């Protein structure tokens, strides 16, 4: 039998090294994403996301091209919004955009009939 020397190795698991842990890597722009309908994970923990969005830290932050946790908060909330199409349109707006004929053709092609431009209270 071969004489084996067994030693107990200690592996440093967090906190004992002199160097601080590296900061989390943030994407400057999290696009394109593979799963568009999934929320973006947040680096900071917010107890109440409504309070975080209304906080002065969020309102007074510098506008930049980089993506931060507040942008992720707003994106995650917009994922919960469902905007349903409607047949009621504002004629002044579609005239100024120059898209009236395109919208009329689209409504007919989708089987929605004509555009309703004067909604009446029922």
24-59 tens-digit pLDDT? 565 566 665 677 778 877 777 788 888 988 999 989
Using one digit for the tens of pLDDT, what is the confidence trace for 3-28? Answer: 556 655 555 555 555 666 666 565 56
Residue at 55 is within a domain: yes
Residue 17: inside a domain, yes or no? no
Q: How many CA atoms lie within 13 A of 113 on its CB side?
A: 5
pTM for the full model?
A: 0.46
Is 90 in the same domain as 76? no
Instruction: Mark whether 97 and 70 lie in a shared domain.
Output: no
Q: How many domains does the chain have?
A: 2
pLDDT tens digits for 60-118?
988 888 888 888 888 888 888 888 877 677 888 888 999 988 888 888 888 877 776 66
Q: Are residues 41 and 73 in the same domain?
A: yes
């Amino acid at each position: 039998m071969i004489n084996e020397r067994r030693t107990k190795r200690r592996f440093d698991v967090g906190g004992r090294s002199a160097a601080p842990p590296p900061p989390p890597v943030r994407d400057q722009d999290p696009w394109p994403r593979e799963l568009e309908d999934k929320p973006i994970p947040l680096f900071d923990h917010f107890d109440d996301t409504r309070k975080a969005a209304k906080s002065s830290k969020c309102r007074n932050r510098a506008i930049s091209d980089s993506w931060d946790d507040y942008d992720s908060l707003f994106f995650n909330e917009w994922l919960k919004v469902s905007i349903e199409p409607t047949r009621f349109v504002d004629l002044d707006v579609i005239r100024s955009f120059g898209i009236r004929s395109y919208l009329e053709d689209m409504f007919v092609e989708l089987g929605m009939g004509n555009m309703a431009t004067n909604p009446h209270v029922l």
